[in-house]
A and B are shown apart, each in its own frame.
Chain A
Amino acid sequence: MRQTYADQVFINCPFDEQYRPLFQALVFVVHACGMTARTALEADNGAEVRIEKIVRIIRECCHSIHDISRVELDADSGLPRMNMAFELGLFLGAQRFGERRQKKKTCIIFDQERYRYQKYLSDIAGQDIRAHNGSVVELIRAVRNALATTLPSDVLLHSGATMAERYARFQRELPVLCSMLGMDPSDLGYRDLASLVSQWLEVNSGPRLQAA
């Protein structure tokens, strides 16, 4: 199937264990909106320089979700993590200076609390920064509502609450599914996760949406 620029959503967020439920929720809600989640995790090609990979993915994505909530100092190094803010800057730069197609880019920016970013990234003041408060339900609802504004008006979507319920069911079924497939759910690579999310949604989509 041909996938278009308008269907691709760049996800810029932490990839650690603690963030995993939120990360998986992001992948789930993007696919549930009929789009494709793209992340820096998708290619592990040692020959491709990391920044080139990120730039390539950003170029291919019309939409993006940035979670800049992870600003605390790293316990081991005592240094802050800059990657998320850097990649947000790259995306905004592409939108600002890129060719015509790049100017159509949209972004959803999250922080833990709504106005906290003003203390550490005040250059983005004026952007609509959303808070997820660490809640999967709030994250799903906010992403669903933001992506809905980019879809044609004839596309039906589940409500944010229903998507969150479906994600909870996906989370409950994921360990069983992995067990049936001989996989370890705690060591699921991004490609496999995206594939499972996409196929789960396909198998569990259909007329139930009308009743939701």
Chain B
Amino acid sequence: MAVKKRLPKIQPSVLKSNLDPVKVREALLALRAAHEERERQARARNR
């Protein structure tokens, strides 16, 4: 029987950071969107 694979669960840091997690997430989502847009443009150029 095939074993169902799973992604590793990313552990939040055990340490209390002084960063605002909401602001960090917003910034990371903006960076990811910019990265995905660059990748999309690169794919379009190579097509």
Contacts and interface: CB of A to CB of B under 8 A. Distances in A.
B8 A33 contact: yes
Contact of A154 (B6, B18, B23, B29): B6
Contacts of B6: 154-156
B15 A194 contact: yes
A196 interface: yes
Given A157-B8, A209-B7, A173 B31 contact: yes
B contacts with A: majority SS: loop
Interface residues of B, number: 28
A36 B17 contact: no
Contacts of B29: 203
A31 B3 contact: no
Contacts of A154: 3-6
A177 to B, nearest CB: 6
Contact of A205 (B10, B14, B17): B10
A34 B31 contact: no
B20 to A, nearest CB: 8
Contacts of A153: 3
Most buried by A among B3, B9, B13, B28: B13
B17 A195 contact: yes
A199 interface: yes
A165 to B, nearest CB: 12
B45 interface: no
Interface of A: 1, 3, 7-8, 31-36, 38, 42, 151, 153-157, 169, 173, 176-177, 180-181, 183, 190-192, 194-206, 209
11 contacts: A3-B14, A31-B10, A177-B24, A195-B12, A195-B13, A195-B17, A195-B24, A196-B19, A198-B10, A202-B12, A205-B7
Interface of B: 3-19, 21, 23-25, 27-32, 35
Closest 8 CB pairs of A and B: A34-B8, A195-B17, A194-B13, A180-B27, A203-B28, A191-B15, A156-B5, A36-B11
